[in-house]
Every structure is written in C-alpha cells, then in structure tokens.
Structure 1
Amino acid sequence: MKTAPRNLTAFCLGSLLFAGCTVGPDYKPDHMKLPSGFVESDHAATPEEIARTEEEMKEWWGQYNDPLLNRLVAQAIKGNYDLLIADQRIIAARAVREEAASAWYPQLDANAGGGTNRYSIAVDNWPLRPGNPANQPQASVLTYGAQASWEIDAFGRIRREVEASERAIDVSIEARRATLMTLLSDLVRAYIALRGAQLRFSIAQANVKNAQDEVDLAKKLYLEGIGNTLQIAQASSELDSETATLEPLRAQIDQLTHGVSVLLGDMPGDLKQELEALPGGVASLPVTPRFPATLPSIVVANRPDIRAAERAYAESTARIGVAVAQLYPKFSIPLNFNPNASAMYQAFQINAMSWSFMMLATLPVMHGGRFTSQVVEARARAEASRLAYRKTVLTAFREVEDAMTSWLHNDRYVAQLHRASQDSGLAADRARRLYAAGLTDYLNVLTTQRTLLNAQDREAVARTARLQDTVALYTSMGAGWQGMALRTTELPIDAAKQSILAKAFSR
C-alpha cells in the first residue's frame, strides 16, 4: 500500500526536474548593418542638432506655430476612433497572454447533481447492483465532486506560448503607436491642405476683384472715348473666368473640413464655421519648421513599424518552441473526486466516496508527420518574419531619403516661384498703369494679369507641398508617439449587471 504513493512521488519529482527545460531557439535580434548617415541630408548632423530634433519629435506639429492645429491634434488624440480601436486590441492581446499563462496553474471544476436512473432488467443473469439486492430497475442518485488537472510544463510549451503572447502584446502596442502616427500625419496633412486651399481661394478672390476693376476701367475708358467695346468684352470674359475658379476651391475646402472633423471623431461639418473663421480672418499657411537632423539608428529605434516587425520576429521565434515541445512527452496530473449516493445522509459516507489521482505521461508516437510539419512551418514563419523586418528597415530608410529630397528641392522651388510671383506682380501693375494712360494695348494687361494669377497660384501650391514634405519627413522618422503614454482603457462593462461569480473572478 505504501509503494504506489512512494513511486508516484518519485515520478512527480522527476517530472518537475524537467520543468527547467525549455525547448526551441531563444530569440536573438537580427542586427542589420546601418549606414552612418542619410545620403540626402543637407549636412552632417551635429550632436546638438540631433538632441534638438529628438526633443522636437515628441510634439513635432508644434513646430508649425499654429495654435489651432495644436488644439485639433489634442482633440483628435482623445476622440479618434482608430486610436480607440487600437486601445481595445491591446487589451485583447493582454487577455490572450493571461489565457496562455493560466495553463501554468491547476484547472479545477466542481459539479453537483441529483435525479433518478432507471436500469434495464430484461437481460438474463443481470448482475445485482451494490446496495440494491432487490435489483430494482430504478435508483435515486445524488452526486457531487470535482475534476482537476495540472499540466507539468516539463519542456516549456506553456512558457513559449506565454512568451509568444507577450511579444504579441508588444506588436499591438507598436501597432497602436503606428496608428497614432498615421492619425497625426493625416490630420496635419489635411489641415495644411485646407489652409492651402483657403490661401488659393483668397488669391482667386483677389484676382476676381482685379478683374472687376479691369471691367470698370474698360467701361470708363470707353465712356471717355479712349477704349472700345472689344476691350470691355475681353475684360468681362476675364472676370467670368476668374469667378469660375472659386467654386472648385469652395468644394475642396468643404471636403477637407469634413475630413478633419471625422479625424477628430466628430460628424462631418461640425468644424466648418470654426475652420473658415481662421485667426485674423485671412487664410495663411503655417510656418515651415527647421530641417530636422537624424541618423539611421534613431529611425530604427523610433519607427513603430520597424519595432513591430522586430517584435513579430520575436513572437515567431517563440512559436518555434511551442511547436518543438509537441514532439516531447507531456506530463499531467488528473484528479477526479465524484461521490455517489441515493440519500443525502449517505453522500458523505466513506462507502460513497469515488476518486482517482495519478500521474500521466503522453508521448507522441505516430501522427503521420503532423508535429514535425508544424515545426517546419513555425521555422519558416520565423524566417519570413526576419526577412520582413529587414524589408521594413529598407523601406523606412527609402521613405526618409525621399522625404529629405522632396523637402530640400521644394525649398528651392518655392523660393524661385516666389521671385517669379513678385516679378509678375510688378509687370501686371505697370501694364495697368500704362493702359490707364492709354500707352499700351489691353492685351498686355490680360497677359500680365494671367501670368500673375498663375504665379501666385503655383507658389501657393508649392508652399503647401513643401509643408506636406515636412509632415512626410517627421512621419518617416517615426516622430509623434514618444511623448504619448498608453491610455488605461477599460471595457464598457457595468459590473453591477454581472453575476456574483463573474464579479468574483473578473480582475
């Protein structure tokens, strides 16, 4: 009678010794050889410039010196639905980790019941049931008990599963940061595009006023006997053409306003009046920030997509261990306690007791190559994750280089267009003065006026594009999430409506 418990104890202790074994490869980061700097940077960044940029990256939108933009960003971070969805995905990932970790602990279920069982007595030589010598076909049964099981994590299957779940949490956190960066980029881009469209609208309005002045001047010169009806018709045609340019710009402004509202988590159009009434009542573009300084190593450290790809590789590596552990024995301790009786007073007697306690070892013997195929699959997925990480790094560097190129070239492009706009304005003013004095043809006025309109509009478009380039560079550098702490979000569940057991076991 003492041999079985002694052997069982030795068996348990021997199994626990295996608990220190964790099969499968340990994660090792994949180190890529990075360049010392970016090719398209205008100069080698100094440590002071890098430190300044690192600080500015936390709230890079503040570099545009636009209070309204700052307020819209703060509102979007609180109310944007994509961010709220990303918050819930982090909660779900953490719950998956807790679910995986629960396998470390004994699993226990309790049961109780009662009723009547009827047995067949139509079989010859039916054995008498214990406690029922009359061999009655019916019996009252009361039962209660518990079933428990505990898996000994001898080869680290559970540990690898938990490790993979923890890496999945990291991936969801980085995905939330990427969502935040996308939100900031989309919002600032939409806001800059809106301000650019309003600037172009104000330029078009000014040109409409100039065209109206030209019509008035042509009519005045006609009445004074200097002009003719052809000049009036030409001026009227120009006025109609300039007026027609206003409607597409109005539509663009309204559409951009709707887009900004949705990014804030509001209904389209909620901000229309506020965005139309900009400070000072004059449409203008935000200021252009200073060119940021960065290094490839900083980009790798800050880009959420790179960080997520690295964490996904770590998760895939852990899942190799989960697959390898399937090839090893599985040790478990099942426990069943299930007394049965026909009367309540008998339910707790020794004779009613029924239980089993043992140590089980399961060894996979023949499964047609299923487990080895799972190992091959896990290793292939891990290698694919490693390669995806490398591709993500290369893509990130290309985006930074492209953004730097666009910023620097558009900077010079805007400067040239600004000079062209000034020269066109001077030529248009001289043509109007000469025409008013009767010293030139009205065709020269129309030509210089159209040239000025095109130059002003092209400059406004180029200035808007240059600001969009600044957004692209900050985003490609992985800026915007560093100063943002993860929100502590709770599921919208009313605890008062839960059952007593749900309250007791929920955290």
Structure 2
Amino acid sequence: MVTLLGDIATNYIEMRGWQKKLLIAHSIAALQRKTAQLIKAKLEAGDISELDNSNAQAQMINTEADIIQMEVNLSMSIHRLSVLTGRVPVALQDFLQKSAEKKQLPKPKWPISVGIPADILLTRPDLRRAERQYAQATARVGQREAERYPSLSLTGNISTTAESIGQLAKGSTIGWSFGPNLRFPFFNGGQVVASVAVGRAQRDQAFIAYRAAVLGALEEVENALVRLYKEQQRLKKLLAANAAYSHSLQLSQGLFESGNISFLELLNAYRSYYSSQMSLSDSHIVLAKHYIALMKALGGGWDGVVDVSFPEIVDKTASSHVKVKR
C-alpha cells in the first residue's frame, strides 16, 4: 500500500510538472512570436538580414515542437495516474486539466526534523516482518531447549459400565484411573541437541536478516534526507539564477529594439532564460519526489513531530527489538 501511494504521488507530481512546463513553454513561445514579428518588420525596413529572420523563425518553431512533446508526456502521465487509481486511462483527463494554470506543484513541509526517531522506521512492513521472523525463531529455540529435559505430565480417565441412564447413579458402574507420565529424552538426546543447534542457527540467520533490514532502512532514510536537503539548496541557487536571466532578457529586448545589440545576443538571452525556467521547474519536481521518497523510506505517513510512545504510532512490543547491536 505504501508503494502504491508513493507511485500515485510521484505520478501526480510528474503530471503537475508537465503542466507547469507547458505553461512556461507557451509563455516563451508567445515572447518569441512577438520577437519574430519585430524581426520581420526590421527585415522589411532593411535594418537586419534574412539570417536574423530565419533564426527567429527557427527558435519559435523549435519551442512549438517542444510544446507538442510536452503535451504527449502530460497525456501519458494522466493516463498512468488514472490507471494507478483504478480507472480507465482517460477518466481523469478533464478533471486534471481543469484550471491547470492555477495549480501549483506540491511543496515539502519545512522544516523537516533532523532527529527523526528510529522507532518510526517500525512502521515499515519489511521491518515488522523481519522483526517478527526473528522473534519467532528465538521462541522456537526455547521450545527445543525445553525438549532436552525430563518432563512430567499427569493423565487420568473416567469410565462406566452402565447400560442405561438410570444405572449411572450407581457407584459400582463408574471407574477411574489416574497416574503420572514421566518422559526422559535419553534415547533421542542426540536428535534433540541437533534440533536445538538448528534452531539457534535459524535464529542467527533471522537476526542477521533483521539487522540488515534495519541498516538498509536507515541507509534509505539518510540518502533521502541528503537528496532532499541538497536539492533544496540547489533550488535556491536556481531561483537566483532565474531572476538574473529574467533581468538579462528584459535588458536584451530593450537593447535589441534600440539597435544596440545583435539578434544573436538576444537569441542567446532567450535560450538562457528558457533553459533556466525549465531547470527551475525540474528542481521543484525533483524536490517533491525526494520528499515522497523520504516518506516511503519512513514507511509512509510521517509528518514531522512524532511521539513514538503512543501505541497507535509504534507497537511497543516491536520497539523492544529495534536495537541491532548484539
């Protein structure tokens, strides 16, 4: 269930990401069409060469081609999301496309506590399964150890010779026997000892598997945290770079219209701004995916501050086995 929810969340992020990229591409394409019209007017006035006009047209058409591919990717994301939620591929098409320009990419909840309690990992099904297997293997060792020693049991039975219900009241028709049963495992002692050794080996294997599962889970959490925090730092840098590219494009447009720079310089400003916008959108998507990966690594449902003393969050019985040192 955690995996399914994670896949749904990831595909939803990707779908909103493609919608965001399409908005960016349409905005850039509109600017490029406006520039292409200006270039055409300058060409007719003899102020620029045919080369600049061709470059402007090529840039605009290339962006329009990108839009077509993005629309394909968006449709595929919607189809996948519909199937993951148990619907036919086109079931969510209208719903998810409605007011797409107003929808924002989901953002992680900040700040994320650095001191995530280790007990929260016990919400992971794989760790619970490994812990239970280790506990069962330990219990079996105790059972096999008990078979090495003599055991005493008391047995008894009651019988009757009555042939009718009326004769049951006569004490002479009722008999009983009672006696102890003492068991000495002398003749199969070697078999019992071997069984105990096998049980201990199975317990050790279960412990190794449990320890590996816990360490693997901790590694996943640490990796997810590193990726999340580093991507957040990268996003801040991209935001600053995007602001600088946006300012550069505005200056370049003014300088080109006044004839102070060539169209090639304006073209480079467009490309840099377009690339910056897409990188910024990608970073938002990656950041949200890393947050989802962290939630999956924690078993799903972790939302910041957690009091692991409550049994509805962490099974107290299981929490006694969380230590992996031996």
Q: Same fold (TM over 0.5)?
A: yes
Q: Does residue 195 of structure 1 match 2:35?
A: no
% identical aligned pairs? 26
Q: CA deviation at 1:416?
A: 0.9
Q: Describe the SS at the equivalent of 1:231.
A: helix
Alignment CA distance shift 1:295-1:287 (3 Å): closer
Q: Does 1:316 align with 2:137?
A: yes
Instruction: Please state if 1:287 is matched with 2:104.
Output: no
Higher alpha-carbon Rg: 1
Q: Which residue of 1 aligns with 2:264?
A: 443
SS in 2 for 1:448: helix
8 Å CA contact 2:19–2:101 kept in 1: the answer is no
Partner of 2:237: 416
Structure 2 counterpart of 1:256? 77
The answer for unaligned runs of 5 or more in structure 2 is 156-178, 313-326
One-letter code aligned to 2:270: Q
Query: Which amino acid counterpart does residue 192 of structure 1 have in structure 2?
Result: I
CA deviations over 1:315-368 (Å, ceiling 9, x no partner): 22234456667878999x9xxxxxxxxxxxxxxxxxxxxxxxxx999998989x
Matching of residues 421-436 of structure 1 within 5 Å: 421-436=242-257
Q: Distance in 1 between matches of 2:80 and 2:191?
A: 51
Paired residues for 1:92-491 under 5 Å: 180-277=1-98, 279=99, 281-293=101-113, 294-320=115-141, 374-480=195-301
- Structure 1 alignment gaps of length 5 or more: 1-179, 334-358, 486-507
Q: Report the Cα distance in structure 2 between the residues aligned to 1:268 and 1:423, rounded to whole angstroms.
A: 41
SS at match of 1:245: helix
Aligned pair count reads 282
| 1:389-411: CA deviation from partner (whole Å, max 9, x where unpaired) | 22222222222222222222211
Contact between 2:239 and 2:280, CA under 8 Å: does it hold in 1?
yes
Question: How large is the RMSD of aligned CA atoms in angstroms?
Answer: 3.4
Give the 3 Å change call, closer, same or farther, for CA 396–438 of structure 1 in structure 2.
Answer: same
Pair 197,362 (structure 1): closer, same or farther in 2 beyond 3 Å = farther
Paired residue type of 1:458? S
- The TM-score normalised by the length of structure 1 is 0.49
Q: Does the CA contact (< 8 Å) of 2:20 and 2:101 recur in 1?
A: no
TM superposition shift of 1:303: 3.5
Q: Normalised by the size of structure 2, how large is the TM-score? A: 0.74
Separation in structure 1 between the aligned mates of residue 89 and residue 187 of structure 2, nearest angstrom: 62
Q: Hey, what's the Cα distance between the residues in 2 that align with 1:438 and 1:469?
A: 46
**1:108-128 Cα distance to aligned partner (Å, 9 max, x none):** xxxxxxxxxxxxxxxxxxxxx
Instruction: Specify which structure has the higher proportion of helix.
Output: 2
SS state at 1:266 partner: coil
Distance in 2, Cα, partners of 1:323 & 1:201 = 67
Query: Contact (CA 8 Å) 1:212, 1:239: kept in 2 or not?
Result: yes
